[in-house]
Every structure is written in C-alpha cells, then in structure tokens.
Amino acid sequence: MGSLRIVVVNSIIEADQEDDEQLSAQAVRGRALRIGLLEAGYDIVASLPADIFLPERIAQLQPDMIIVDAESDARDVLEHIVIATRDERRPIVLFTEDEKRSSMEAAMAAGVSAYIVAGLQTARVKPVLEVAMARFNQEQKLLTELSDTRLKLADRKIIDRAKGLLMARQNLSEEQAYQKLRQLAMNKNIKLADVAQRIVDVEDLL
C-alpha cells in the first residue's frame, strides 16, 4: 500500500501570488497534503494543474490514485479528471473547502471515491487514502460482477437462439440441439457462446 503512485491535481501557485489570502490558504493546505503523503510513504509522481492537458498527462503517468486539492468550486477540475479517467478508472480523492451538498453529489457522480471537506491534517491523509482505495476496489468488484452477469445473460440468449435454429433446421429436440452445440464447441476448441454466435451469424446472412 505504501508505494502507491499518486498524481496531485491543484492550482499551481506562483511565489508572487502567495500574498493573496485564499491562495495563501491553498498553499498551506497543499504543503500539508504533500507532507502527509510523503510521511505515509506514498510516491508523488507529479503535481499537475487542472487544464486541457491533464487527461494526456495522466495517461502518460499511469498513477494508482489521483488527489484533487481544490479550494472551492471543483467542477471544472472534475470535468478534466472525468475525461482523464473515463477509459481507465482510478480512485480519486478530493480535498476541498466546498461544503455544498450539491457539489459533493456532483463529485460522487463524477467518480470521486472520497470527498473531504476542510481540516486537512497531515495525520489524516493516510487513513483517508486507505478508505478511498478500499471503497474504489469494492466498487470495481461490483462493476465487474455486474458486467459478468450481463455477459452471461447475453451468452445464454445467443445459445438459446442457436438451439432454436438447430431444432427447426434439423428437427432436433432441445437436448439434442444443445449436445450438438457442445460437440461443435469441443471440436473447434472454442466457447459454446462463440459457436452459437457463428450459427446465428450464418442464419442472419442467409
């Protein structure tokens, strides 16, 4: 767990901007975050601004987790991150000062695993990240199971359709049609559903 590769997404603050009160608070929070990550043994591979190049940079760096450090309205930042993680999901942790329920709901809908409002203490960074990782892994497991179930259902439909075609064409019982499909699959050393799909494809061509 310690060697997680992390990309931090934040507003890059120039030295001459640190006089601004809001930016100064963000700089302090950003430092607390970095210290917390380093003390917990995480590997910060980059600190990136939330801009149009973000998806490209994340694709190049392939981090295990993305941490967003956003002062208030994080919607623009989230838009870039959603694009960046659309094809390859990753756990996203958002540290913000935005307490609005609508913002939190929008963030969760966008795929944020943990939404942490205010009070970024260095000591809290590690447990927050561990919970976010566990939650993300659980969600991925559920999505995979759902996808597998859908796939099995689709396979069953195509096998039933192929059986029906064999029964009609060759005057077979349902059991005989199923055994014929199995025999074809074994002979060709491919999955039952793939044999069924070929039979259905041929029928559709004719």
Work out the burial of residue 126: count CB atoms within 10 Å of its CB; fewer than 13 is exposed, 13-18 middle, 19 or more buried: middle
Beta strands in 73-195 (DSSP E): 92-96, 114-117
Tens of pLDDT, residues 99-125: 888 888 888 887 888 888 866 677 888
At residue 65, the pLDDT reads 93
Whose tokens are 């060697």? That residue is 3
What pLDDT, in 10s, does the model give residues 53-108? 888 898 899 999 999 887 665 677 777 777 878 778 899 998 887 788 888 888 88
Cα–Cα distance between 88 and 42 in angstroms, integer?
Answer: 21
Per the domain annotation, does 129 fall within a domain? no
Q: Is the residue at 86 inside a domain?
A: yes
Residue 201 belongs to domain spanning = 144-205
Sign of CA dihedral 119, 25, 9, 85: positive
Q: Residue 188 to residues 82, 169, 195: CA-CA distances in angstroms?
A: 43, 21, 9
* Domain assignment of residue 151, yes or no: yes
Q: Say how far apart CA 55 and CA 40 lie, in whole Å.
A: 26
Q: Which two tokens stand for residue 181?
A: 């499909």
What is the rounded distance in angstroms from the CA atom of residue 30 to the CA atom of residue 12? Answer: 10
Asked if residue 200 belongs to a domain, the reply is yes
Whole-model pTM over 0.85: no
CA distance 130 to 136: 10
Examine the domain organization and report whether 113 and 157 are in the same domain: no
Looking at the fold, whether 93 and 25 belong to one and the same domain comes out as yes
Q: What's the CATH code of the domain at 21?
A: 3.40.50.2300
